[in-house]
A and B are shown apart, each in its own frame.
Chain A
């Protein structure tokens, strides 16, 4: 276990790139949760996490220790990526291309695990209202998955479609829902910092 602080690790990573991996290990899951709670979209959250760490890796030589915890710098990049995502509706891939990070599809089993990171309880009522703005197929998939809390195989059975299609509908529905909630100023959770 590396005893160094985040700031020390980030500074060390200029000459010792392996130190960056330790920063990743410490904060990757928190950052994924941060994105998942704001986008409600496991795919987008995973991509944003990868892009944020890629951007941090590419610009780690610009990091200056200002006395604050090093993780604040990381979340600064995350907020920037999230803002870009909400403005354009897509996740930027510039940093991943820049450092040569290979693209990775989100494994099927990760959809549920990422959704588990999001605590939907506090916003269930708001979600039910926002659901009315979604197309029928996405609304039904979301209702089964989020409100009724059914597992994906069962959601697929109910919708009479393949499990992958069910996941896709839920994912797209969540992404749209997040945008609606964002516009209405409903915060999913307090920021992880």
Chain B
């Protein structure tokens, strides 16, 4: 600086230092601003995507909402899980087809058995309509008028008996709320649910059906093979000439018999599950509503359950955002193209001037 005044020279040095410090801060501030802009943009896009995902009913949230609506409407018209049945019926076909290779594999593994067992196993396959083995469960939570708990409790038991079923377990909390687990014949499942709904105001209800047809057919096929093998072994036993041969065949026979017993037990269990449906009933008087949220929460309150729900919730939000992004990406690409064209046109205009 061209001056003799020392004060101005000192001041110039001070401003130089300030400018350098400010430049460093400006760079850091710009970086922070850029980072903040990016974070803001990503958050904004995520929120936008979430909004779009929710509006379009995508993601798990939408699915859950639809599922809940379906479950309510099914019970609401008193038809139980009938609308679900067509979806479950086709399942036995691939399962049945899959059962054959299993049967063949079991035969080849039998070694000394003749191929005669194969046509038997195939011929014994029951017709398609008999294959539907569905285990049905239901739960219903009812809000009942104050002071009517004992009456409604007794009427639930009566409804179970009326449908040919029984009360598997029951639990009461005070004289205003309680829960019962009913076992009723599958044929009476829907009718029982309709009768239960009439006892109060349903706050939640679910009906689930578990298709065990494939499992059942597998067991049946395996059983046929084992029975064939047992008859072959019995024939071999009668032809055994030495003690060694007799013992070897008998050991083999014992193994086969054990497996047959196990499979028959499994089939009986599945038959029982299919024949009898389980219904959880939650009764709650009006004034006690706030204390209980849902039957599942009361029966199994646990940290693991809470964690599981948290993970499901996280994934549900994530899925909704992903669905929303699916809608956003094409729009963003179009906007980018338009922006690019505008920038190119402006640059050309600037170049011309």
Interface residues of A (CB under 8 A from B): 15-18, 20-21, 24-25, 28-29, 32, 46, 49-50, 53, 57, 99-102, 104, 106-107, 109-110, 113-114
Contacts and interface: CB of A to CB of B under 8 A. Distances in A.
Nearest to A60: B22
A29 B5 contact: yes
Given A99-B18, A102-B14, A104-B14, A18 B23 contact: yes
Contact of A29 (B3, B14, B16, B22): B3
Interface string B1-43: 1011111101110111011101100100000000000000000
Given A17-B20, A17-B22, A100-B18, A28 B6 contact: no
A104 B7 contact: yes
Contacts of A50: 11
Chain B at the A interface: SS class: helix
A27 to B, nearest CB: 11
User: Top 10 A-B pairs ranked by shortest CB distance?
Assistant: A17-B19, A17-B22, A107-B6, A25-B1, A18-B19, A28-B8, A46-B7, A29-B3, A110-B7, A17-B23
Contacts of B6: 107, 109-110
A21 B19 CA distance: 8
Interface residues of B, number: 19
Contacts of B16: 18, 21
A165 to B, nearest CB: 20
28 contacts: A17-B18, A17-B19, A17-B20, A17-B26, A21-B12, A21-B15, A24-B15, A28-B1, A28-B3, A28-B8, A28-B11, A29-B3, A29-B8, A32-B5, A49-B8, A49-B11, A53-B11, A53-B15, A57-B15, A57-B18, A99-B18, A100-B18, A101-B15, A102-B14, A104-B7, A109-B6, A110-B7, A113-B5
B19 A114 contact: no
A32 B26 CA distance: 29
B8 A16 contact: no
